[in-house]
């Protein structure tokens, strides 16, 4: 890996940065899921039920937001669980 692509190491401040990360995790994970579902609901409510085809774009964007977030959320949560587990072991 190129030197500049390496992440900044925090020396003995690991606990502090992980705390910052944990603090943001609920927003980073749940907000996109909520927004994705809201887009899909908007398509259903104003597009599908009313028979308006103009909301198809909203549906696709909602699906993109949901799928892309699931794609990255799962390995992120796994890594977070691993790091928390190793921290508790200490």
Partner 1 sequence: MGKVKEKILKDTKKRINDTKKKINNARKKIESIEYDAHWYRRVFHSFGASLLFYYMLPNEDWIHILKFWIPLIIVLIIIFIEILRIKGKISSDHFFGLRFYEKNRVGSYVFFAVAIFLLLGFFPQHIAIPCILCASVGDPIIGEIRHRYGMQYVYFLGFLICMLFFMISWYKEAPGLMIIVAVVGGIGAIIGETKKFWWLDDDFMIQIIPALLIGIIWLALPIFGLSQPTDLIINPAIWSFG
Cα separation, 43 vs 61, in Å, equals: 10
Give yes or no for residue 18 binding partner 1 (CB under 8 A): yes
Cα separation, 45 vs 65, in Å, equals: 19
Q: Which of 7, 49, 51, 88 binds partner 1 (CB under 8 A)?
A: 7
Cα separation, 77 vs 55, in Å, equals: 32
Site for partner 1 in 26-85 (CB under 8 A): 27-29, 31-32, 34-36, 38-39, 42, 46, 54-58, 60-61, 64-65, 68-69, 71-73, 75-76, 79-80, 82-83
């Amino acid at each position: 890996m190129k030197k500049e692509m390496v992440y900044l190491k925090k020396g003995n401040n690991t606990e502090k940065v992980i705390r910052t990360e944990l603090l943001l995790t609920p927003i980073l994970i749940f907000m996109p899921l909520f927004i994705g579902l809201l887009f899909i609901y908007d398509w259903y409510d104003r597009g599908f039920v009313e028979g308006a085809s103009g909301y198809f774009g909203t549906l696709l964007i909602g699906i993109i937001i949901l799928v892309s977030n699931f794609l990255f959320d799962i390995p992120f949560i796994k890594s977070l669980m691993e790091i928390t587990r190793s921290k508790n072991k200490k």
